[in-house]
Structure 1
């Protein structure tokens, strides 16, 4: 159970959620295996439901619907549950000429709801910025999304947002699409090592979405496990520079351990409390893993961080972030993602076409 000082967050009209949830986009679905350990992940999802989780963040692209089906299995086991689900559209092609072509959005939603044993999605997220040449599919997709919301098949329209490694071009494209789509929720990734991006004039994505009356769904709060004590995975060719950066991470975590304690619970409290403090309109999705890990997420958050604590944490993370910037500006920590042609390792900023 979450502490009482972490109130429900108004993500969208009529959508009030606890600020900590779980997601299937996690580095535990490791590169080099065709599938993760289903039984461990199912047990982790069971633990999340038992702990009172109100949202599971997944995607149709996570092992081509396999993640959705695992979530659906748990929801089917727990009749009468109050769990809601967010999922995505825009990356899986299927047999259509384009992921957003024709009725593709509606058809994918039907498949997603069937996978999940649900009648509606909490948030349906437009994951790709590629709407075809000249954005030919953009207006029809926006119309479809609004119709699905009006019909009660989705409760909120989502749009993938930039993160701390996004280029200025990516951020401009996001702002352009934000005005066109008018989403209810923006999805992004953020943590102590990857802060919420500046979207213009010094305004963070958190402040921007709050000003717009839009909810923020934040994934990867543990930096793919690095802030929970895992060794960072380096990009190919990082070499000595990568080792130096890994050492900087270790030193930063050691400083935090001296102040807050060396236990796993202490590390998680620092990482999760810190990112929860960054935006009052945010729900944070931590990657689902084994039962013991998931139980720890919901049991480690007792006691808010004071202003002095937050200042110390920010100073430590800033030092680590500076040491992790490669000369060409690419991030060191990488994540496992799903690709239509198979599993691949991608940099922290997805190679999303930015068409117009």
Structure 2
């Protein structure tokens, strides 16, 4: 596993991490036996970065991670979690010192640790980034030893740019993939200048970029790819990266010829993300050992040629840009 600096934290992390949303909830049936096996397989293969959140299965994802780490013993990987989505409504008023500490205490208990490696504000309302007292609260929690570092998980590029104005924001988690190119323009360059770590989520556009879906694919009622198609439960950009399903399927067919011999479209999509050195770690989800190991193998693909990068940009400009570029 190749490693990259995680911003200015002094830590290096493997460039492929483990996104633990799918082992918590909202991706159809959860199989704990398979989830545990997937985590063990990934860690055995050298993965050392796991991303979760307190609302993934109401803490189920965090508790599964703690279980696996206890079973393994030894040196712990870098575990990032998130807080803020437990609010009944997303308002700035909800991000009080008491609420933040309560959420963090719950994650400390779930993860069975005394100090969180990284706690990220979990897609708070845009106005939160204009309230320095929220970030002051996070500073106090670091001083008290409950957090080593803190960051933010954002929906919009504008939120990311505002967040990194705060000097102690160590990381930004953002959606970036072949269907969401805008972060690489201004935000990635600014993050590099400030030595802010970049965590890339939704790298496969909720599976669209796996190339495994078709017009007749059906998703379970408890899978966000079914219940959040129009943003009914949370930001629609989290589902298929905000791209209309039929538009995404058509674009995928244009991308298939770019897949290198012996690789999959999903591996190409992950390797494409890693071509930008502003990216610290990309966190594809995995629910089985096979998926986890296939994700990690993507990092071993050779650097992509300029012709491939140009072809991806052409598909984006022609098919995807009108649907997503200015929205996020």
TM, length-normalised to structure 1: 0.73
Aligned to 2:100: 105
The offset of 1:285, in angstroms, is 1.0
Give 1:71 shift. 1.3
Instruction: Pick closer, same or farther for the CA change 1:15–1:196 going to 2, 3 Å.
Output: farther
Match of 2:207 in 1: 225
Q: What is aligned with 1:282?
A: 280
CA distances 1:240-272 after superposition (whole Å, capped 9, x unpaired): x8545422311321x113xx12x4x34344222
Q: State the distance in 2 between where 1:256 and 1:269 align.
A: 11
- Check 1:291–1:72 CA distance in 2 against 1; reply closer, same or farther (3 A cut): same
Uncovered stretches (5+) of structure 1, i.e. residues with no partner = 332-347, 350-356
**Judging changes above 3 Å, is the alpha-carbon distance between structure 1 residues 134 and 70 closer, same or farther for their aligned structure 2 residues?**
closer
Structure in which a larger fraction of residues adopt helix: 2
From 304, 312, 317, the equivalent of 1:317 is 312
Q: Please, which of 294, 297, 301 is the counterpart of residue 296 of structure 1?
A: 294
Q: Distance in 2 between matches of 1:324 and 1:28?
A: 33
Work out the CA distance in 1 between the residues paired with 2:128 and 2:311. 44
5+ residue gaps, structure 2: 215-224, 231-243
SS state at 1:56 partner? strand
Aligned equivalents of 2:84, 2:211: Cα separation in 1: 33
What displacement does 1:67 show? 1.3
Question: Which runs of structure 2 are paired with 1:129-208 in the superposition (5 Å)?
Answer: 129-130=124-125, 138-162=131-155, 166=156, 171=158, 173-180=159-166, 182-197=168-183, 203-208=185-190
The SS at the match of 1:81 is coil
Give CA-to-partner distance per residue, 1:143-183, whole Å, 9 cap, x none: 22112222332222102234xxx4xxx61x44334324641
Alpha-carbon spacing, 1:88–1:99, altered in 2? closer, same or farther (3 Å):
farther
Shift of 1:62: 1.5
1:128 and 2:128 aligned: no
CA apart distance, 1:140: 3.8
Distance 1:37 1:181, change over 3 A: farther
Q: 1:112 to 1:305 in 2, by over 3 A?
A: same
> Distance in 1 between the 2:126 and 2:245 partners?
36
2-structure distance, mates of 1:95, 1:78:
38
Q: Classify 1:160/1:78 alpha carbon distance in 2 versus 1 (closer, same or farther; 3 Å).
A: same
312 and 29 in structure 1: CA distance in 2 versus 1, 3 angstrom threshold: farther
Return the TM-score normalized by structure 2.
0.79
Summarize deviations over 1:222-245 as a string: whole Å, max 9, x none.
222222222276946xxxx85454
State which drifts further: 178-187 or 72-81.
178-187
Given that residues 11 and 281 in structure 1 are in contact (C-alpha distance below 8 angstroms), is that contact kept between their aligned partners in structure 2?
A: no
Please, which moves more after superposition, 83-92 or 280-289?
A: 280-289
Q: CA deviation at 1:96?
A: 12
8 Å contact 2:200–2:282 — kept in the other structure? yes
Secondary structure in 1 matching 2:287: coil
| Contact 1:273/1:301, CA 8 A, preserved across alignment | yes
Partners of 2:89 and 2:194 lie apart in 1 by 37
2:39 matches 1:57: no
Cα deviation for residue 112 of structure 1 reads 0.3
The CA RMSD measured in Å over matched residues stands at: 3.2
Q: The residue matched to 2:249 in structure 1 has which SS?
A: helix
After TM superposition, list the pairs within 5 Å mapping 1:336-347 onto structure 2: none
Native 8 Å contact 1:10 1:281 kept in 2: no
Secondary structure, in 3 states, of the residue corresponding to 2:3?
Answer: coil
CA contact (8 A) 2:41 2:293 kept: yes
Q: Which among 250, 253, 262 is matched to residue 253 of structure 2?
A: 250
What's 1:93 paired with? 87
Question: 1:26·1:224 contact (CA, 8 Å) conserved in 2?
Answer: no
Contact 2:62–2:107 (Cα < 8 Å) also in 1 = yes
